[in-house]
Amino acid sequence: MIVIKHKRVFEKLEQYNRIKGDLPEVSLNSYRQAFELEYTHNSTAIEGNTLTLLETKAVLEEGLSVGGKHLRELYEVINHNKAYQYVKKCIADKLVLNENIIKDIHSILMENIMVGGIYRNVDVYISGAQHTPPSPSEMYAQIKTFYMDLIDKTFESTIECAAWTHAEFVRIHPFVDGNGRTSRLIMNYQLMANGFLPISIKKESRLEYFNALEAYAVTKDLCLFENMIAVLEDEQLDRYLSMSKG
């Protein structure tokens, strides 16, 4: 995996901030729409949703149903898009990520699927992983510490903060279902709230992604995942910089 120093990403962010006001509005809106579609598709597909990108587009943009698919899969993509819009609204309102917002995100993700926003009271296991999420009693203590750390923990960079927010939340696994989608949304919350661009982890990269999260869960080594986010942010900034008329 290529190591990208955060300095390079921050330099590109500075370039983007200088020219973003001059970027063509048509290009920006077109790309943002395409990104949101791909982000919803990738984030749900990572968890096993079988809708293709085109089927996801048909559901979200045209309100069409897709034959041969479980109703739950349709709700997963609809809900994910709603949750992302909620994230953007909270950021526009300058709200700092907290427990209520995270529970709201999960509730939106679980609409018409199960009751959301409620922590689990049962043990859960992640197939194929070395890490076993904490039992309910330990989980409650750890999620409480997580929210305190969201306020008090010091990070060297926004990328480290986003990586930790995702990796620690999904390590704790506080919900019965939807932890992955929630953690990817709150990762982007931290990025966007601090002036960075949202990123999408492609379903084709899920093995690298799971290995990076496993490394953190087992050894608390955040480097692999932090670097993965840095690479994706670097690529995303390149896309926006390429829109510049200059």
* Burial readout 129-161 (b: 16 or more C-beta within 10 A, e: otherwise): eebebbeeeebbebbeebeeebeeeeeebbbbb
Indicate if 173 belongs to the active site.
yes
Q: Which of 41, 106, 166, 173 is catalytic?
A: 173
Residue 242, φ and ψ in degrees, nearest 5: -70, -15
Q: What is the DSSP string of the chain?
A: -----HHHHHHHHHHHHHHGGGS-HHHHHHHHHHHHHHHHHHHHHHTT----HHHHHHHHHH----TTS-HHHHHHHHHHHHHHHHHHHHHHTTPPP-HHHHHHHHHHHTTTTS--S----S----TT-S--PPPHHHHHHHHHHHHHHHHH---SSHHHHHHHHHHHHHHH--SSS-HHHHHHHHHHHHHHHTTPPP----GGGHHHHHHHHHHHHHH---HHHHHHHHHHHHHHHHHHHTT---
**Token pair of 116 as six digits:** 């959301």
Q: Which residues are catalytic?
A: 173
